[in-house]
Amino acid sequence: MRSDTMKSGLERGPHRSLLYALGMDEQEMSQPLIGVVNAANEIVPGHMHLDTVARAVKDGIRSAGGTPMEFPVIGVCDGLAMNHSGMRMSLPSRELIADSIEVMATAQPFDGLVFIPNCDKIVPGMLMAMLRLNLPSVCISGGPMLAGEYQGQSVDLVSVFEAMARTRKGEMSTAELSALEKKACPGCGSCSGMFTANSMNCLSEALGLALPGNGTIPAVHSQRLRLAKESGRRAMGLLQEGVHPGDIVSQDSLHNAVALDMALSGSTNTVLHLPAIAAECGLELPLEVFDRVSRNTPNLCKLSPAGPHHLEDLNRVGGVPAVMGELARNGLLATECLTVTGQSLGHNLDQLQERASDGEIVRRLENPHQEDGGIAILYGNLAPEGCVVKQSAVAEEMKVRSARARVFYSENEAVEAILNQEIGKGDVVVISFEGPKGGPGMREMLAPTSAISGMGLDREVALITDGRFSGATRGAAIGHVSPEAAERGLIALVQEGDTVRIDIPGRRIDVELSREEMETRRKNFTPPQKEVDSPFLRRYAQQATSAARGAICRTY
């Protein structure tokens, strides 16, 4: 066992003494040591219950003859960090999470690991560490939050963001907003729509790194605890079978994750996280793959913010296996891929009784919401390396449009202009210098997109940025523009009043400027100066790569 390097042999007497200090006995010390990576804290609603999930995981490990040893990681709540400087810490925290787990699992040589994430950058950060360490491992999330209810309607966090703008516009009273605030997020779990955390928790099933049900079983259901126990047992099973994450993740399983992403209409943040996960095992997942898979994979689900359903609704009709079953039925998945069950994806789907599409929450391929996937990759002179849009959440009349540029060099300036009703029909809000280097940190921008929707402009106004968007974003929100402004991308040179041409079906985005005008502007342009007080963010800005490559940090 790997842990024997820490606990076995005469020279390890001092090490055993320290293990005895923990209350460990000889029996526990003789068993495999399984690290339990727990993101629990009292800050993130998706994490407030993870100690309960961890107890179930540890029960599963013990029942299979292992000894669990739990340790923590940090976690940023993107909702609480939104629309202020704290959001600059969110994407970089993904790298810190992966690095800190590597430190813990190398300094203390565990035999296997169980990862317990549940929000935004914590899920990909843990999956990156899982592939980097390549120990027998299972991911078991804390599960999604239930949707709230207000005035007879299902609501969630994005409902509150949009209500803020309606209140500013005078369409809601502050008392109504206050009542909605108390109803939208009814308890623990990752926010209830197909936002980033839930997207990644679902895709972990397609990657083969989590058991069926990981993405959709609600946080408050006892079935979540049973799944946690089984995840603990499977970590021991994988150790005995000699199966590692590197045996599971392949180009085919990455293809499966992208195909599921397109069918589910997942968060655009997945286009950052899946390439980062792939890179940890020496694989590449360029934007071209997302575009190619999107063109061939229909959009089968419209969960919030794209539609009225939530994760609990998807779970009720069979969860991720129902979607993957529909894709597999039509030859759109590589079903021979190995998973943490110890069996192939195809075998898992055959064993599940509720994998048939219900026809509404999960559409059949003969009747999709749209013929191509939920995410589209656009190219053009504004984004020669590509940019990303959640096309399933874009109104039809916004998919092809020429618009007048309204230019801002920060998210905060743009939000203020939108809420002050300075943005009108036919405008496109352009926010530059918010990319991985220029932010620094590539802030998530739910506030401006929600303000546009709340002002009733989501069918009239587009938003383009080298920053990124929350999975809760809807409307013509086009992000990850690469190269970013700080890397001398053309988005830095767009000026007030320029015409921007958007063609989502044609996968194009261009600003109507002559080459001569571009060069003139480039020679005369002085970039805005940002004071960056954080040493951590200064280091991240130096190391971060393009969003087109997942905004991963360079290794030297």
Cis peptide before 440 (omega within 30 of 0): yes
Residue type, 77: C
Task: State the DSSP code for 552.
Answer: P
Contact (CB, 8 A) for 119 and 77:
yes
What three-state secondary structure class fits 396? helix
Distance CA 73, CA 498 (A): 45
Listed in sequence order, the residues at least 6 apart from 33 whose beta carbon sits closer than 8 Å to its beta carbon are: 1, 3, 6, 7, 66, 67, 69, 108, 110, 111
Contact (CB, 8 A) for 21 and 53:
no
- Look up tokens 């970013």; give the residue: 484
- Look up tokens 């940019």; give the residue: 387
Contact (CB, 8 A) for 218 and 142:
no
Number of other residues whose CB lies within 10 A of the CB of residue 181:
16
Q: Indicate the pairing of strand 477-482 with strand 148-150.
A: unpaired
44 exposed, middle or buried (CB, 10 Å; 0-12, 13-18, 19+)? buried
470 is catalytic: yes
DSSP codes, 296-357: HS-B---BTTSSSB-HHHHHHTTHHHHHHHHHHHTT-S-TT-B-TTSSBHHHHHHH-TT-S-
Task: State the DSSP code for 11.
Answer: G
Listed in sequence order, the residues at least 6 apart from 491 whose beta carbon sits closer than 8 Å to its beta carbon are: 382, 383, 430, 432, 464, 465, 466, 481, 484, 485
Listed in sequence order, the residues at least 6 apart from 380 whose beta carbon sits closer than 8 Å to its beta carbon are: 501, 508, 509, 510
Catalytic residue among 470, 482, 514, 534: 470
Of the candidates 237, 257, 238, the residue with the CA atom closest to the CA atom of residue 249:
257
166 exposed, middle or buried (CB, 10 Å; 0-12, 13-18, 19+)? middle
Structure tokens at 109: 């040589």
List the catalytic residues.
470
